[in-house]
Amino acid sequence: MAGGLLYLMFSTGEESVRREGLFGSLYFETKQVRQGVTGASMGVANPTGLIIMFMIFCLFLALTQITFGGLKKRRAHLMEERASI
């Protein structure tokens, strides 16, 4: 999320613009307040994309932990077989 906001910040030019990123979830907007002064605002426009990405990340971590646990058990089983030979 922070990386997305940084990208949006540095991809704006001199003109007033509203940029959205991360599947429309984040926005960065610049406006000319008065001559020589530019205002900026940023935030979450639509949290749906962020929630979906968070759920995918959690699913990936859970699958990684399950796979690691299975591999650890398999290694222990192979070590026991090797020790009994």
| Per-residue pLDDT reduced to its tens digit, 25-65 | 888 888 878 887 778 888 888 899 889 999 999 999 999 99
The reported pLDDT for the residue numbered 17 is 79
Which one is predicted more confidently, 19 or 51? 51
Q: What Å distances lie between residue 39 and 36, 45, 48, CA to CA?
A: 10, 18, 27
Q: What's phi and psi for 61, nearest 5 deg? A: -65, -40
Ordered by start, the domain boundaries in the chain are 1-46, 47-85
Please name the residues in contact with 30: beta carbons below 8 A apart, sequence gap of 6 or more: 12, 16, 17, 18, 38, 39, 40
pTM of the model as a whole: 0.63
Which one is predicted more confidently, 3 or 62? 62
